[in-house]
Structure 1
Amino acid sequence: MLICHCNIITEKEIEQTIVSLLDEDPWQLIVPAKVYHAMRKRGRCCGCFPNVVETIIRVTENYHARSEVGGVDVVSHLDRVRGLRGQYGSRTHERRTADHRAA
């Protein structure tokens, strides 16, 4: 599936990049900018970043589930990430309220 239309990046390419970053350091913080930098790309319109964040969370969960690390630490960390995402990212979209109407 095509995730980034500006750079023509597929979901599979993003997943492979995330796994390679996790292979380097399984506990590093991975954000869309880091993924794009590793791919030698730039976010142009950045409309794909929410999908990239979802992919990062999904791939990181799967990566740590397959590893031999205790699952309790991984789950608590990812729950905190989801909570922050809900706190800062879900209520508004581009600082617009729900009743915002164009034109």
Structure 2
Amino acid sequence: MLICHCNLITQKEIEDTIIQLLEKDPWTLIVPAKVYHTLQKRGRCCGCFPNVVETIIRVTEEYHARSEAGGEEVVSHLDRVRELRVQYGSRTHERRTTSHRAA
């Protein structure tokens, strides 16, 4: 599935990049800018960033669930990230409606 229409980046490319970053350092903070920098791209309209953040959370959660890390720590951290996302969500900061999103 195409996530970024400006740069023609697929979800698979983003997932592979996230896994590559996690293999270098499993506890690194991964943000959309780091993913795009690794792909040697840059955000243009940045409308895809909320979807990239959701992908980062999902892939990171799956990666740590498969690893030997303590599951309680990972889940509680990701739950806190999700709560912040709900609290400061993209609806008000992007000035777009949810129907405007591509994915």
TM-score by length of 1: 0.88
* 1:12-31 matches, cutoff 5 A: 12-31=12-31
* 2:11 matches 1:5: no
Q: 1:36 deviation in Å?
A: 0.2
* 2:23 matches 1:53: no
Pairs aligned (count): 97
How large is the Cα RMSD of the aligned pairs?
1.6
Q: 1:89 deviation in Å?
A: 1.1
The CA deviation string for residues 48-80 of structure 1, in whole angstroms up to 9 with x for no partner, is 001100100000000000001110000010011
Structure 1 counterpart of 2:100:
none
* 1:1-103 matches, cutoff 5 A: 1-90=1-90, 92-95=92-95
Unaligned runs of 5+ in 1: 98-103
User: Greater helix percent: which structure?
Assistant: 2
Asked which structure has the greater CA Rg, the reply is: 1
TM-score by length of 2: 0.88
| Identity score, percent | 82
